[in-house]
Amino acid sequence: MYKLHKIGARSILLLTILFSSVCASQAYAASYGTAGCGLGSILFENTGTWWKQVLAATTNGTFGNQTFGITSGTSNCGSGATALARKQQDYVTANLVSLQREVAQGSGDAVVGLADVFGCKANDYSKFAEFSQTNYKAIFNSNDPVAIISNIKIEINKNSNLTQSCEYAQI
């Protein structure tokens, strides 16, 4: 009977360590409770109930879906890098002709929209328009939206003011 008790204590200790490591790895997630975003946050809504957070963290840890969710912007993880890149590409594709014309002029709604999809602060939209006009040849050296986005990011990162203002230029 002593051996059975000793094995049971080891199992409990091992499970406690395992559970603690799963919860600790999820502890710094923003508004999803300690479980973070992922499949667990969908299945077990954050109501502040500890046992739901345990189940959500266990689900997230078991299926390892948070990395995908964060990158793709799914599973309650907000808009990830992939979703943001897609949004930028869709915007440039849909507005290419207007962007080329308005950037050459240095103002316009399409340029404001472009500044917005790059996460520029509203009070810096005019700086972004002026910057875009100045760097027109470097930005629009191709009609490929992916190349244009890449060129914008390269040029923004050369400009210390816009690097601080346009938060999505780093992605």
Mean pLDDT by 10 residues, the chain (171 residues): 56 53 43 67 72 79 72 65 82 95 96 94 94 96 95 92 85 61
Count of structural domains within the chain: 2
pLDDT of residue 107: 94
pLDDT of residue 30: 47
In terms of domains, do 50 and 16 share one?
Answer: yes
In terms of domains, do 46 and 87 share one?
Answer: no
Q: What is the helix (H) or strand (E) element at residue 152, kind and residue range? A: helix 145-156
Q: Tell if the pTM clears 0.75, that is, is over it.
A: no
In terms of domains, do 54 and 129 share one?
Answer: no
CA gap 170, 106 in Å, rounded: 23
In terms of domains, do 19 and 61 share one?
Answer: yes
CA atoms within a 13 Å half-sphere pointing along the CA-CB vector of 87: 18
Which of 137, 118, 128, 135 shows the shortest CA–CA distance to 161? 128
pLDDT of residue 81: 67
In terms of domains, do 18 and 68 share one?
Answer: yes
Instruction: Domain of residue 22: give its range.
Output: 2-72
In terms of domains, do 105 and 60 share one?
Answer: no
CA gap 46, 40 in Å, rounded: 10
pLDDT of residue 17: 53
Distances (CA, A) of 36 to 62, 94, 145: 13, 35, 34
pLDDT of residue 129: 95
